[in-house]
Chains A and B, each alone.
Chain A
Amino acid sequence: MRRREFLTLSAASIGGVLVYSLDRKVSRLSAQTSQSVRIPLRFFSQSEALIVAAAASRIFPSDEAGPGAREAGVAIYIDRQLAGPWGRDRRRYTQGPFEENAPVEFGYQGQATPQQIYRHGLKDLTRFDHLEPAEQDQKLKQIETTLFFLLLRQNTIEGMFCDPMHGGNADMVGWQLIGYPGPRMSNLDDVDKHFGEAFRPKPVSLRQATGRKVRPSEDVE
């Protein structure tokens, strides 16, 4: 078994985040605490996680329009997805022969799993997290048509707006940005009202909405 790796971040930089300890106990870290936090990684090494966090925050930056991938915990989300069934292609047809250069309308026909695509793609981004933002953008522009980048972009959006139980969208920061209320059980009294005006109920997570400890699929296997 490989050495257990951690992602060390200052709590202030990640807002409030739900952290799973090794025994899957959940603890909440608050942005108010000033100390650093060590988040156990399931797939990435620490240096890989820092690179992914840096790249995701160029795709969805933290700026004057509001928080971004860093505050949402996107790198933590991606780490868990890659370690789970999705990262290992548990629901993709993986029998050969593989037609790596198939026309786009046939979808991705390659053999590599998301885990392998990330490991391979990250080799082009050595020390990426040490670059200046402008250099980082330039570097990403060079790879923006690669499968790795397309996955990273898609996973960044997922990590911004998934239910917080998946490790991203910490404190529902993504949902607050777009005014999405999460899994709301009833809109019966509002669905045909508020025409032309923003109606923005306070977001609730699935665990809050159901009062149950729902397990995400990446934790089941």
Chain B
Amino acid sequence: MKTLPSVDVVIVGGGWTGLLMAKELGSRTALSIVVLERGGPRKLDDYTEDMDELDYSIRLNMMQNAAQETVTLRHNPGERALPLRQFASFLPGSGVGGAGEHWNGVFPRMLPDCFELLSQSTKKYGAEKLPEDHSIQDWGVTYDEIEPYYTRAERLLGISGKAGNLRGKQMDGGNIFEGWRSEEYPTPPTKMPYFSAMFSDAAKSMGYHPYPVPAATPSQTYRNPDGVSRAGCTYCGFCERFGCMIGAKAQPTNILLPVIQKRKNVTIRTGAQVRRIVHDTSQNKGKVRGVTYTDSSGQEIFQPAELVFLASWTLNNTRLLLLSKAGEPYDPAANIGTVGRNLTHQLNIPAATLFFDQPLNRFMGSGATGITVSDFNGDVFDHSGLPFLRGGNFLALSNGARPIANFGTVPQSVKSNWGSEWKNKALHYYDRTGRITFETEHLAYKSHFMDLDPQYKDYLGDPLLRLTIDWRDNERKLAEFGTTKALEMGRAMGAKEITPFAGLRSYDVTRYQTTHIQGGTIMGNSPDGSVLNPYLQHWQFSNLFVLGASSFPQNSASNPTPTILAFTYRTADAVVDRYLKNPASLA
């Protein structure tokens, strides 16, 4: 083991949260900062050649290589976990920028009551309405405290959209159910393609309140407060699973890296696979000393640091704490420990697949171009007579349909799936098929958690992370409810045939949901039920912070990136303004 000279700050992971923290600390302080990224470097030029559906969307060339490291999964503690041999239900990123390079860029805020889910739900419906095995918690932060940081995140990325609640004033055309916002979106909504426009008209005719998806694929050229300019989106349709070839879609490499590269106090080391957080409690109780990593040549290295940020995505943040024996692992049977608890995976179902008479020109769009209906999100509708809690958002995205992934979808009336009849129907329907998706909350349950797998190992010999997760009655009933509503909207759009979602069975590792996995190192008001305080500071080790959706006690129907960035900003402020002056617990 080689020991390097100590640095002030080490950041594990070079994605959205790691690079945002590096930018903030690097620009606002003179601290020496090292970012350790397991994957390779990236630059805009790489993406000119990646508009290839096969290599990127189907073979997943930008993602974490499952041959080296994956996770195992079981539906309940009584089942034997099996490895995800190929990623499909979620797609972890790798390399500088992480999954923030190949995301879609959908950028909604969470509803205010998400942050106080336990107290709000109990207050409104009583404790008996909550599922028996739930482990729903309050976050220890309110929406009002987070609002300014949401605004900063939206300005950083230049989000396109339309406000629905400007400082309490309801605004037509925006999401009237959203929490109050202090400012209008930085750029106007994206252009609206045919399929999404049809959905908007139908939803309006039904009395709903459709609004343009808040998009990190901006509608026009945008210069952010750091002075970084990006071109407007050209709707080429290559967002999800691709980097943007013109740098229009907000990505860590095109808005954070340009600032970081000007700072001499920040270094990004690629090919650095972090193995452990080093803490020997005998000498310096309550502090970590740095991290160990394996570099691309296989050399083991100890990087001492005064301050450590874990920013390596939900699963790896949790796994590193478990491998490093930092904090007590959660054990649902004994109901002790906290590390690994409250695993959730934002549910996304193809609620209604619609077949039209007319062509849709679906190849045009962006990952975040489309329309949302939030009339059945969270608790904006009354659940008193309903057999489930919470809700979701209906989306009609025009995200650029590509042929390998989309060819072959035919109405249920077509019985074959190969041969002449199928080919002819599939050719006919190829550009006449649209989809209303329903993105919902997945409640937190006591028996959904993460620990280390007793059997399977990664390429370096470390145990894989084991996920225990499934869908429950609440999710099944919510999915049924959403499917019924989506069918009504599809009919109002004039679809000639509609295939409804077949219903949720067990968690299926082969069906893409979202790459929105939360929990494992959750924040909260007390070390008894959480790993972090609401400043994302470890309860036990005051110089260890854990960034990202691993800190979320439960998910919301809103995609996590805006909330992740908002909390990262809040932690950066707390570290610069308070922790550096007095390195102790911030809570």
Chain A residues near B (Cβ < 8 Å): 58-61, 63, 65-66, 68, 86, 89-95, 97, 99, 102-109, 137, 140, 144, 153, 156-158, 160-163, 165-166, 174-175, 177-181, 183-188, 190-192, 194-199, 206, 209-210, 212, 214, 216-217
A contact residues around B61 at 8 Å (CB): 217
Query: Does B407 lie within 8 Å of A161, measured CB to CB?
Result: yes
B contact residues around A174 at 8 Å (CB): 403
For the complex of A and B, 9 pairs with smallest distance between CB atoms = A183-B51, A161-B403, A186-B234, A187-B364, A105-B508, A191-B235, A192-B191, A198-B359, A59-B418
| Interface status of B265 (Cβ within 8 A of chain A) | no
Query: Does A186 lie within 8 Å of B235, measured CB to CB?
Result: yes
Query: Does A60 lie within 8 Å of B235, measured CB to CB?
Result: no
Count of A-B residue pairs with CB < 8 Å: 184
B contact residues around A65 at 8 Å (CB): 420, 423-424, 427
Query: Does B70 lie within 8 Å of A162, measured CB to CB?
Result: no
A contact residues around B54 at 8 Å (CB): 158, 162-163, 166, 216
Q: Closest approach, in angstroms, between the C-beta of B399 and any C-beta of chain A?
A: 12
Determine the distance from Cα of A86 to Cα of B457 in the docked complex, in whole angstroms.
22
25 contacts between A and B (CB under 8 A): A58-B418, A61-B420, A65-B427, A93-B66, A93-B85, A95-B457, A99-B82, A105-B510, A106-B509, A107-B510, A144-B418, A163-B52, A163-B53, A178-B427, A183-B52, A184-B237, A187-B365, A188-B232, A190-B364, A191-B365, A192-B192, A199-B361, A210-B49, A210-B51, A214-B49
| Interface status of B194 (Cβ within 8 A of chain A) | yes
Determine the distance from Cα of A105 to Cα of B88 in the docked complex, in whole angstroms.
11
A contact residues around B134 at 8 Å (CB): none
Give the residue of B48, B194, B237, B457 whose beta carbon is less than 8 angstroms from that of A210.
B48
| Interface status of B83 (Cβ within 8 A of chain A) | yes
Supposing A185-B234, A185-B245, A196-B358 touch, asked if A157 and B59 sit within 8 A by C-beta, the answer is: no
Closest residue of B by beta carbon distance from A63? B420
Query: Does A140 lie within 8 Å of B418, measured CB to CB?
Result: yes
Query: Does A180 lie within 8 Å of B403, measured CB to CB?
Result: yes
Give the residue of A93, A163, A186, A212 whose beta carbon is less than 8 angstroms from that of B48.
A212
Determine the distance from Cα of A197 to Cα of B360 in the docked complex, in whole angstroms.
7
A contact residues around B369 at 8 Å (CB): 191
Determine the distance from Cα of A92 to Cα of B85 in the docked complex, in whole angstroms.
5
**Given pairs A86-B59, A91-B66, 14 additional interface contacts (CB within 8 A):** A63-B420, A68-B423, A91-B67, A104-B508, A104-B510, A105-B505, A109-B85, A156-B418, A180-B363, A188-B235, A197-B359, A198-B359, A198-B361, A206-B49
Query: Does A162 lie within 8 Å of B53, measured CB to CB?
Result: yes
Give the residue of A66, A137, A175 whose beta carbon is less than 8 angstroms from that of B419.
A137
Give the residue of B83, B236, B407 whose beta carbon is less than 8 angstroms from that of A157.
B407
A contact residues around B430 at 8 Å (CB): 178-179
Query: Does B403 lie within 8 Å of A185, measured CB to CB?
Result: no
Determine the distance from Cα of A144 to Cα of B456 in the docked complex, in whole angstroms.
32
The residue among A137, A174, A186, A212 with the most chain B CB atoms within 10 A of its own CB is A186
Q: Closest approach, in angstroms, between the C-beta of B270 and any C-beta of chain A?
A: 19
Q: Closest approach, in angstroms, between the C-beta of B463 and any C-beta of chain A?
A: 12
Closest residue of A by beta carbon distance from B86? A92
| Interface status of B60 (Cβ within 8 A of chain A) | yes
| Interface status of B565 (Cβ within 8 A of chain A) | no
Supposing A177-B427, A188-B235 touch, asked if A91 and B407 sit within 8 A by C-beta, the answer is: no
B contact residues around A209 at 8 Å (CB): 51
Determine the distance from Cα of A163 to Cα of B65 in the docked complex, in whole angstroms.
23
